[in-house]
Amino acid sequence: MRLSLIWLAVITLSACGWHLRGISPIPDGYRILYLQGSGNTGFDQALNQQLQFNGVVLTEHAVDAPAQLVIQSYEIERRTLSLSTNGQVAEYELNGRLSALLSRPENGINTEILVRSRRTLSNDVNNVVATANEERQQRSAIEKDLASKLLRRLQGIRDNKNTTTSTPATQP
């Protein structure tokens, strides 16, 4: 009985198209890529790691690659989400935004990509060190989330001239 339930769950999940995240197939025209990042940040490191994990070869010079990914802007802003009864900040919201341009100069193809991510952060005024550590962890999670979303956008790229793709901000 237990075995039949397991098989039923496996068949149901495979029939709906669900699969584990892992290696994302990148279109052939983008497997060799020049990455112009925003500097040596945690985001750049997360993106480099995910690109290399998915079989993308990163070149040192733009002329060596048929495609170029330029990180135009990357920012994480913190804003007050709510206040406590005594007027102190109770929660913050961290909003990550990434704008990139993917181009294939020989084909004249330019694709603008915009991805966003959002997290909430509780502010414990009695434990400032823990709040700072939590914010650092949330920022790191946003960086990884933005890199994953950018990779999924690369996975779905089609060779249409001058397109724009974007994603709404989500909260896990």
Closest by CA position to 151, among listed 159, 139, 143: 143
> Residue 126: its pLDDT value, please?
87
> Residue 9: its pLDDT value, please?
77
Distance CA 22, CA 20 (A): 6
> How far apart, in Å, are the Cα atoms of 60 and each of 27, 80, 91, 133, 172?
20, 41, 42, 35, 35
More confident residue, 161 or 116: 116
Output the average pLDDT for the chain: 83
> Residue 20: its pLDDT value, please?
54
- Predicted confidence band of residue 48 (pLDDT cuts 50, 70, 90): confident
Closest by CA position to 91, among listed 63, 119, 51: 119
For residue 37, count CB atoms less than 10 angstroms from its CB and return exposed for 0-12, middle for 13-18, buried for 19 or more.
middle
Mean pLDDT of 95-122: 92
User: Is pLDDT of 133 > 70?
Assistant: yes
Q: What count of other Cβ atoms lies within 10 Å of the Cβ of residue 27?
A: 13
